[in-house]
Amino acid sequence: MNITEIIAKELNVTKELPSFKAGDTITVYYTIKEGDKERTQLFKGDVIQRKGTGGTETFTIRKISHSVGVERIFPINSPLIEKIVVNKQGRVRRARIYYLRELTGKKARIKEVR
């Protein structure tokens, strides 16, 4: 193992997060700091991709808000993420489902794993 990987592993405090992949519908609870106040906000949507490894791993979530598509990228090891809840497990054939960006309505549905 590389010395930079060893140092990065020691510095990053890993949380116990559920396993999820592209196609799953998840809710991310994260803290927002506004001045000296903190509050928890949630972002619920479909996972479009997981990217990277180790300390630089990120995931992208897409949701439709008032008929406008909204995407947000979260780092896995962010201290601002309080918890992640997996709502539904989806069945897709790709690791990055960017084709959802062009689809609307019933065509944008993802099949659920039973």
What is the number of domains present in the chain?
A: 1
Sheet holding 68-75, edge to edge: 68-75, 58-65, 37-51, 25-34, 81-88
Quick one: pLDDT at residue 13?
65
Placement of tokens 């995407």 in the chain = 71
* CATH number, position 59: 2.30.30.790
Within a domain: residue 109?
Answer: no
List the domain range (segments joined by +) for residue 59. Answer: 3-90
* Confidence band of 8 (pLDDT split at 50, 70, 90): confident
Within a domain: residue 8?
Answer: yes
More confident residue, 103 or 14: 103
DSSP 56: G
Neighbours of 45 (CB within 10 A): 20
pTM value is 0.83
**C-alpha dihedral over 19, 21, 27, 29, to 10 degrees?**
60
Within a domain: residue 38?
Answer: yes
Q: Tokens in use for 49?
A: 């991709």
Quick one: pLDDT at residue 15?
76
Within a domain: residue 97?
Answer: no
Within a domain: residue 46?
Answer: yes
First to last CA, the chain: 39
Within a domain: residue 114?
Answer: no
Within a domain: residue 96?
Answer: no
> What does the pLDDT look like over 15-61, one tens digit per residue?
788 999 999 999 999 999 999 999 999 999 999 999 998 778 999 99
> What does the pLDDT look like over 49-101, one tens digit per residue?
999 987 789 999 999 999 899 999 999 988 899 999 999 999 999 999 999 99
Within a domain: residue 102?
Answer: no
